[in-house]
Every structure is written in structure tokens, then in C-alpha cells.
Structure 1
Amino acid sequence: MTTALHRPQLVTACIDTAEPPAPSPADYTVTVYVNTARHNFDGYRPRHPLAEVTHPNGSPLRLVFHTNAHIKDHEAAADAAYCVGNRQGVDDHGQSWPDDVRSVSTGDVVKVTSPDHWIIHLAVIGCGFSPVPEPTLLVPLAGTRPTRRRP
């Protein structure tokens, strides 16, 4: 004889907190600044305006990469961020590139913080990266995110 068992319905939800776990002491953290100058794809110049990439809710996007055999210096972390910024994967905390922000391109700048808190700014160039001074002209990411119309 069989009897019917009633199970409670399961509810699953994907909650985007937009706040990844805090990086561990052995992580590289990368912040990407997209170049908003008129001819930004010609390369970065120190007076070009840059906008920090953020989550859709406006909080800063910090890509995190654990130190390992492939990520062992600033340039390797920058390269990993470039891949994420071109929608070719996620960082080590599962963060992907926002859908409403253009891909990382020549002329953009990445800020890489190493496990020992040493910071370097690298401009994306045609083949790799080039060290640059810390950017001074930061602007809001406005204009790259779609606006929502009210019904």
C-alpha cells in the first residue's frame, strides 16, 4: 500500500546583493575606469575624463582575483579584469561585467591593488597595459546606463 506525502513547496530566489565578500589578504582587487573622452579609443591621456564602473545599483564594482599560479602580479590581475570586462568570464567571487556598460577597451584605465596594498594604474593599450599616473578627472558613469521610463 502506498500513501501520498505532501511536501512543502520550495521557493528559490537569486538575490543580487551587489556586495561581494571582502577580499582576503592574498587577493588582487581591480577597479575599472572607462574612458569617456570623445576619442577614447585612441588611447588614454592624463586629462581624459574617466568613469568608475559600478553595479546597476551604483555601488562600485571591485573585481577580485586570488593569488595563484596565473595571477601573481599586477599585470596578470589587470589581464584577468580585461577578460571579465569583455564578458569572457567572472572574477573569483563570481561577479560578471554589468550588461549595461560597454566592454573594457583601449583607452580605459584599470587600478590594481595587490595583496600588499601596492596600487598601480594601468592604461589599456593595443597589446597589454602601460603604467599611468593616478587619474584626476573622474566623472559619473551617466550616459552609459539606460534610463528607465515611467509608464
Structure 2
Amino acid sequence: MTTAVTRPYTVTTRITTPDTAYAPAAYTATVYVNTAPRSSDGYQHHHPLAEATHPDGNPLRLVFHASDRIRDHEAAADAAYEVGNRQSADDNGQTWPADIRSVSVGDVIRVIGPDHWIVHLSVDRTGFSAVPEPSILTDLGGSRASSRR
């Protein structure tokens, strides 16, 4: 024998809070400036690199949301190259610091994708080449404005 039970009506809803809000997939790019003499011939694994930072010393992380334009790590590196050459800003409005030279051949761009894959790409004369994670990191220090090629 079954007994009928009346249940109160229940309404279920999803409440979006700041910690659960939808965040679009994004690529994060970090530029490493090649500090080796005559590095314009291209990046070599033994070249020292310095991470680009804000004037206050905090790391410069360029963010690009996945879109029709930014579909992969290389497209994100290309967008970072544009920011690094003062042609645009990242998706958060960050621009390239005035006291760091422009991104050029021999520099390395690290891109972390929305899938959390990390790719290091050297800036070549035409495009990018995948390289191993750089092992020699240095500080831009006093050479921020003077490291021109």
C-alpha cells in the first residue's frame, strides 16, 4: 500500500557570487626580454632573460580572453607582441611600460592557456618558435630603459 505525501513547492536557483561568477577562458602572457649582447640574431638557450615588470617591480601579466582572434597560444603571443610594441593594450587595458624597450627578435613569451598548458615561444624574424623553459633569468634592474638593440 502506498501513501500519498504532499511536498511543499521547492524553487532551486543558482546564485552567482563573485567567487563563482563565470570567468571567460583566458591566455596569460609573460614577456622575457633577452639581455644577451647581440641577441637580435635570435634566442639561444644560454641567453639570459629578464621578466618584464611594471615600474614598481610587480610582474607584468598580459591577459587575452579566448575569442575568434585569440584561439591558441601563438595568437596570444602575437597579441602580447603587439602590446610589447606599443600598438595596443591587453584585455584588461594594460599597456607596455615606457621604461622597457619594445619586444623584439630574441625575446621569449611564456603563454599559459585556459587549459593550463604552458608554452614558451621565442620571437623570430617571422613568427614564433617553441623553445624549452628558459633557465637563466636575470633582473632588468638599471638596464630597463637602456637595453636597446
TM-score after normalising by structure 1: 0.80
Is residue 2:74 matched to residue 1:111? no
Contact 1:65 1:91 in 2 (8 A): yes
Secondary structure, aligned partner of 2:64: strand
CA deviation profile, 1:54-85 (whole Å, cap 9, x unmatched): 00000000000000001000000000000000
Matches within 5 A, 1:80-119: 80-119=79-118
Contact 2:24 2:66 in 1 (8 A): no
Is residue 2:123 matched to residue 1:124? yes
Letter in 2 for 1:140: D
Is residue 2:60 matched to residue 1:66? no
Compute the displacement of 1:25 (Å). Answer: 5.5
In the alignment, which residue of structure 2 is the partner of 1:34? 33
Compute the displacement of 1:143 (Å). Answer: 2.8
Q: Could you tell me the percent identity over the aligned residues?
A: 65
Secondary structure, aligned partner of 2:30: strand
In the alignment, which residue of structure 2 is the partner of 1:52? 51
Contact 1:102 1:144 in 2 (8 A): no
Compute the displacement of 1:122 (Å). Answer: 0.2
In the alignment, which residue of structure 2 is the partner of 1:144? 143
Contact 2:31 2:110 in 1 (8 A): yes
Compute the displacement of 1:145 (Å). Answer: 3.0
User: What residue ranges of structure 2 are gaps of 5+ in the alignment?
Assistant: 1-22
Secondary structure, aligned partner of 1:31: strand
**Alignment length (residue pairs):** 124
Q: Which has the larger radius of gyration?
A: 2
Compute the displacement of 1:142 (Å). Answer: 1.4
Secondary structure, aligned partner of 2:142: coil
Letter in 1 for 2:60: L
Residues in 1 aligned to 2:39 and 2:32: alpha-carbon distance in whole angstroms: 12
Secondary structure, aligned partner of 1:88: coil
